[in-house]
Amino acid sequence: MQRRNLVVAIDGPSGSGKSTVARGTAVALGLRYLDTGAMYRSVTWLALERGVGLADGAALTALAEAAELSITPDPAAPRIAIDGTDVTDQVRTRKVTAAVSAVSAVPGVRLVMVARQRDLIGAGGIVVEGRDIGTTVAPDAPVKVYLTADPATRARRRASQDGQGAEAVAGTEAELIRRDQADSSRAASPLTQAPDAVVVDTSSLSADEVIAVIVGQVAEVVS
């Protein structure tokens, strides 16, 4: 396989290091980058802005179908806009984070987003991160990686990412566990490890070390 046709699927729960590692891998390999979670977050942001009920699956699906998404797949400076509004920063707020599991659990929303994600993947040449990439979005990806880490480590990372102090770690850990349960138990393409994915526990590894593992996996399949 040639690198321009390569798809690297990186899955895992929040705080496992997906975004940092996926972006770093894309930079190292000279590939495009897609954060599928940001797509669900953008629909969530739009739903909150427009007052769409988070329990109204039909309305959320209609919102996702009608929404215009614009994604910049540059790993050095990824951006996302929805209906003409750049929401790259807005989709990372705690308000969106608290609501995104409910929106992403709607089967109709997932159908819409998965179709768009496959269109964006196209012929390949991309690193894609999410929760169902190796199982649903790109099950034929030649490189599949599932990142994990212990809950305490994940909570420290997420609290630091959100600019919170040590006192917020316990609450963040509880939120992560709640979201893991929600994402793993949803009916539509739940968070789960693909049987053929390489599992990497990032608890005691640096981002560069994890990237090196993935680049090594790529070297085995790229001619």
Q: How high is the pLDDT of residue 112?
A: 98
- Helices marked H in 105-168: 107-121, 151-161
* b/e code 58-86 from CB counts within 10 Å (16+ = b): ebbbebbeebebebebebeebebebeeee
Q: Per-residue pLDDT averaged across 9-32, rounded?
A: 94
Q: Per-residue pLDDT averaged across 140-144, rounded?
A: 97
Domain of 109, in residue numbers = 3-221
| pLDDT band at residue 182 under the 50/70/90 scheme | confident
Q: How high is the pLDDT of residue 152?
A: 84
Number of domains in the chain: 1
pLDDT tens profile 150-168: 888 888 877 766 666 666 6
pLDDT tens profile 25-76: 999 999 999 999 999 999 999 999 999 999 999 999 999 999 999 999 999 9
CATH (domain of 147): 3.40.50.300
Q: How high is the pLDDT of residue 165?
A: 60
The rounded distance, in Å, linking the Cα atoms of 36 and 15 is: 15
